[in-house]
Amino acid sequence: MRGCLTAPFRLLGCLGLIVLLAAGWLYRDSVVREARGLLARVWSPAAQPVESQRGRPGTRALAAAEAKIDSLNGWRADSVVLTPSEVASLMGNGLSPAFRRELDSLEVELRDGEVRVRARLRTDRLPRDLVGPLALALRPHEPVEATGPLRVIRPGTGVWTVRSLQIHDVPIPGPAVKRMVARAIDGADDGTVPWKVPAGVRAVRITPGAAILYGAPRS
């Protein structure tokens, strides 16, 4: 008797589950966007200490970043969220080999709309006339810190625009930053450092502690 009484409720429960699954499938794009928005909010400044906004390149981080980017092409995801270490790995992998060899101990910090890069730089190629009196005190390798926005300008090509630069904690005057970057790095016209953008990435948004990479619009 009890089984007969509970059978309609079990049937209603199964029908309700089917309806929920069907709705989830029909509105899967909206669900995915909301989930990614929630993930981006988790990486907000209030939730993340400064240490978690920084990362260093590595083979595992690069593999993880590439796997996420593959979803933009294979799974047709709208966007993916990268950690600071994954961004550091992509930047290190996407910079020109000649410039990358000039850098050691690369560290990336993701800020609000900007990427801050810390590294040890080979300084003997820096234009002494732009460095000024600091040139007399420079050693062959010095710690540098550069900050600026990272963006995609066309498929496969992006730029990191250096807006501020410090060498051994000494700030370089603003008017000299662009000229110094352009003369120190091949192809870095007007202070913009080129980087190779992985296929499938059409835009990037930098937030404190995370970078959101956007894929091509779905047809």
Sign of the dihedral through C-alpha 184, 190, 196, 201: positive
pLDDT of residue 63: 95
Each residue's pLDDT, cut to its tens digit, for the chain (219 residues) gives: 544 545 554 554 555 555 455 545 454 445 444 555 555 444 444 445 555 789 999 999 999 999 999 888 776 678 899 999 999 999 989 888 877 887 888 999 999 999 999 998 877 766 666 666 666 677 778 889 999 999 999 989 999 999 999 988 888 888 788 887 887 777 777 778 998 999 889 999 999 999 999 987 665
Query: Is the separation of the CB atoms in 44 and 81 below 8 Å?
Result: no
DSSP letter for each residue of 135-172: GGG--SEEEEEEEE-EEEEETTEEEEE--EEEETTEEP
Longest dimension (CA), the chain: 96
pLDDT of residue 90: 93
Model pTM score:
0.72
Query: Is the separation of the CB atoms in 128 and 183 below 8 Å?
Result: no
**What separation, in Å, do the N-terminal and C-terminal C-alpha atoms of the chain show?**
55
Exposed / middle / buried, residue 188 (Cβ in 10 Å: 0-12, 13-18, 19+): buried
pLDDT of residue 45: 44
